Chains A and B, each alone.
Chain A
Amino acid sequence: MTESLAQLEVAAKQPGRVSRGAERVVRRIGRSVVGIAQQTGGILVLLGKIVRRFFPPDIDYYELKRNLHKMGNRSLPIIGLTSVFVGAIMVVQASAYVQQFSATAFVGWGAGYVILRELGPILIALMFSGRVGANNTAELGTMVVTEQIDGLRSLAIDPISYLIVPRFLSMIGMLFILTVFGNLIALCGAALFGQLTLGIEWRVFFHGITELLKPWDVYVGLIKSLVFGLIIALSSCYFGLAVRGGAPGVGRAVNASVVASAVGIFVSDYFLTFLVD
């Protein structure tokens, strides 16, 4: 990989053989590939450091409690609201076909399947990343540029165990809880709109869910939410800690963290869908 990159760079440097425009494109690709490799490496190193703090457990429980509280409070309303509409959209989109084939008995199952396995975990994770992940990166980045992290180190307090581990645990735990909560709301939203637009009774709707869905469908979504939580926690902490260059650096880091989380969520979703089935 690095070898072929080096060859590309060499090729790009030889004048006459490659035009200037192409040279620039190759350079840019080379740089972004190296950048992604560096970031992935950095994130894995951070994960290693975090894992080491669990043997023996070295966790600040006050910070853990504070973060759980803050992250939960901050995201509940927005996730509740999004979830209602996710459920509603499911039903609205399906309504034409449901009426055509009078398949009302399957609406509950269909909505449940899509929400619990796919849409719920992904959309809630994306909201969570935009809200909590971005905030986390900004907070940590600000602490880096204002030397608060060095301040911690100077007090002989380990920033990883005091700052990062509680955030890491809170984000994974809170996204899981919020996904359960959001899924329930989305299902209720779907049931409500099913009744309003298609006249499906609640009993029929939830019968479709309880009878036709398998427990595994629920577990798949929950496993996904744990993996997404891991991705958001790692990328938001990594980009926060890696901030350089004052306040503009914080802005860039927040941006990079949200983008990296989103990419990570979609890519891992693709592989998880294959793996778990």
Chain B
Amino acid sequence: MIRFVGLCKSFGTKSVLDGVDVTIGKGEVFFIIGQSGVGKSVLIKHLIGLLRPDRGEIYLDDQEISRLTERQYFAVRRRCGMVFQHSTLFDSLTCLENVALPIRKHKHLGKKKALVEAHKRLEQVHMEEFAQTFPAALGDGMRKRVAIARTLTMDPEFVLFDEPTTGLDPVSARRVDVLIRELADRLHVTCVVVSHDLTSIFSIADRIVMLYKGKVRLLGTRDEFRRSADPIVRQFITGSAEGPME
């Protein structure tokens, strides 16, 4: 279980999160939606200690984690993987080496064995033919799949996906949807997904939260979102240019 309580965060004078309360259940596929720049990435980065809140608390299975030291956060990060919006693969390593790195570091395998396991992980995301390619030579979508494979090597209990389908072709995007749903259904991994992709949202989300102006606008199931009368929510999920949204 993940729980944000009254989370506030500003950068300089600019307030991004202004009292966010969200509870995410175990094994859930939980979507975070909202306009670009509303603070979705900022919110999930707090969970693994890449950012620290100005006020508020964060609970991971009843442990308050927002005041842990950088070192103590390592334990949290092993349980809670993150796939970044911009993949963040390491330029200096091939795709295979990228995926092998956390295996080598955390499973204490030699380099050879780590590479063998990394290759299996790449097959899961259909990227094995690019094993020896450097990330710079790949498109955004392919990099993202490699990044997903790299995060999953740690067999995390929670995975944070930051816009996992943005920049992917429709087929790859649906494959990622299936992968996320399977993680939740088969391995009971809690998946927190930041997304604008209406197709993903309405096909695999268990529950959804919409952020607007630093606060929770609506939290509910897919049906609750479809039925919502809130003009701002309506404008977002219908994707129309006209409306009350700023």
Cβ of A153 within 8 Å of any chain B Cβ, yes or no, is yes
Cβ of B48 within 8 Å of any chain A Cβ, yes or no, is yes
Q: Is the CB of B84 within 8 A of A150?
A: yes
Q: Is the CB of A156 within 8 A of B84?
A: no
Q: Is the CB of B88 within 8 A of A151?
A: yes
State which of A26-34, A141-149, A254-262 sits at the interface with chain B: A141-149
Q: Is the CB of A155 within 8 A of B86?
A: no
Residue of A nearest to B90 (CB): A148
Cβ of A158 within 8 Å of any chain B Cβ, yes or no, is yes
Q: Is the CB of A151 within 8 A of B90?
A: yes
Q: Is the CB of B106 within 8 A of A147?
A: no
Select one of B75, B92, B102 contacting A155, CB under 8 A: B102
Cβ of A154 within 8 Å of any chain B Cβ, yes or no, is yes
Given contacts A155-B150, A156-B77, A158-B74, contact A150 B50 (CB under 8 A): yes
A266 to chain B, nearest CB (A): 32
Q: Is the CB of B82 within 8 A of A154?
A: yes
Rank and list the top 9 A-B pairs by shortest CB-CB distance, nearest first: A151-B88, A156-B77, A154-B82, A156-B74, A155-B102, A147-B88, A156-B78, A148-B88, A150-B50
B interface list, Cβ under 8 A from A: 45, 48-50, 70, 73-75, 77-78, 81-82, 84, 86, 88-92, 101-102, 105-106, 111, 150-151, 154
Could you give 29 example pairs across A and B, Cβ below 8 Å? A62-B111, A139-B92, A142-B91, A143-B90, A143-B91, A146-B86, A147-B84, A147-B88, A148-B89, A148-B91, A150-B84, A151-B84, A151-B88, A151-B89, A153-B70, A154-B77, A154-B82, A154-B88, A155-B77, A155-B102, A155-B105, A155-B151, A155-B154, A156-B74, A156-B77, A156-B105, A156-B106, A156-B154, A158-B74
